[in-house]
């Protein structure tokens, strides 16, 4: 199954009267989202809520950074994308993150040979910290208990902080490279 943009933000669109439909109804109105992206409580007929939207957002964020869908065949016997991601932190984050998001080996080697190896190691450490931080946001948003989820304002603040920290590092590095040329 493929997630659709319409799977997110459902709480705004479902009127209270539709949310109170019988749980035994076979109508698609009760599904309220794509399998894997909809929170578990939607399966028992719970009304669409903003916490359900946060769950979907967290799963989508984890999918973007791991390149694994929540419906992937590897997720069975209680293992879900949320748990898979959580278990990888902090030590295995580079093994579970989508390799396309990481510098290639030849880029890493040329970067370390063209400048201070210590600085290259610091950049890799900073990248790892940022990936861990992003994964933590996805994990905090996709907690199954709505009362324990990160809310959208905190998630947005944290993601902006991570972006500013990472982009700031990248800009400094590019300036330093330009100064050495």
Whether the ω angle into residue 90 lies within 30 degrees of 0, i.e. cis, is yes
Nearest to 31, CA basis, from 16, 44, 12: 44
CB-based contact 139:62 (threshold 8 Å)? yes
Torsion, CA 139, CA 143, CA 148, CA 149, rounded to 10:
60
**Domain containing 120 — which CATH number?**
1.10.510
Work out how many domains the chain is built from and give that number. 1
Instruction: Return per-residue pLDDT of the chain as tens, 181 residues.
Output: 455 555 555 555 555 544 444 444 333 444 455 777 777 766 656 677 777 889 999 999 999 999 999 989 999 988 999 999 999 999 999 999 999 988 876 555 555 555 677 777 888 888 899 999 999 999 999 998 888 999 999 999 999 999 988 877 555 556 666 666 6
- Can you give the residue range of the structural domain that contains 157? 5-180
Q: Are 54 and 152 a contacting pair, CB within 8 Å?
A: yes
> Could you tell me if 122 and 136 are in contact, meaning their C-beta atoms sit under 8 angstroms apart?
no
């Amino acid at each position: 199954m493929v997630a659709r943009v319409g799977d997110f933000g459902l709480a705004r669109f479902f009127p209270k009267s539709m949310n109170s439909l019988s749980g035994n109804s076979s109508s698609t109105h009760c599904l309220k989202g794509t399998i894997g992206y909809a929170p578990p409580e939607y399966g028992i007929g719970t009304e669409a809520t903003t916490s359900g939207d946060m769950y979907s957002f967290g799963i989508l964020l984890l999918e973007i950074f791991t390149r694994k869908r929540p419906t992937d065949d590897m997720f069975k016997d209680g293992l879900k994308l949320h748990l898979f991601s959580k278990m990888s932190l902090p030590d295995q984050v580079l093994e579970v993150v989508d390799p396309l998001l990481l510098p290639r080996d030849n880029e890493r080697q040329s970067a370390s040979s063209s400048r201070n190896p210590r600085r290259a190691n610091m950049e890799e450490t900073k990248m790892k910290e940022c990936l861990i931080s992003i994964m933590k946001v996805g994990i905090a948003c996709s907690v199954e208990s709505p009362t324990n989820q990160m809310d959208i304002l905190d998630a947005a603040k944290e993601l902006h902080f991570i972006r500013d920290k990472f982009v700031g590092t990248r800009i400094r590095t590019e300036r330093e490279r330009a100064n050495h040329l």
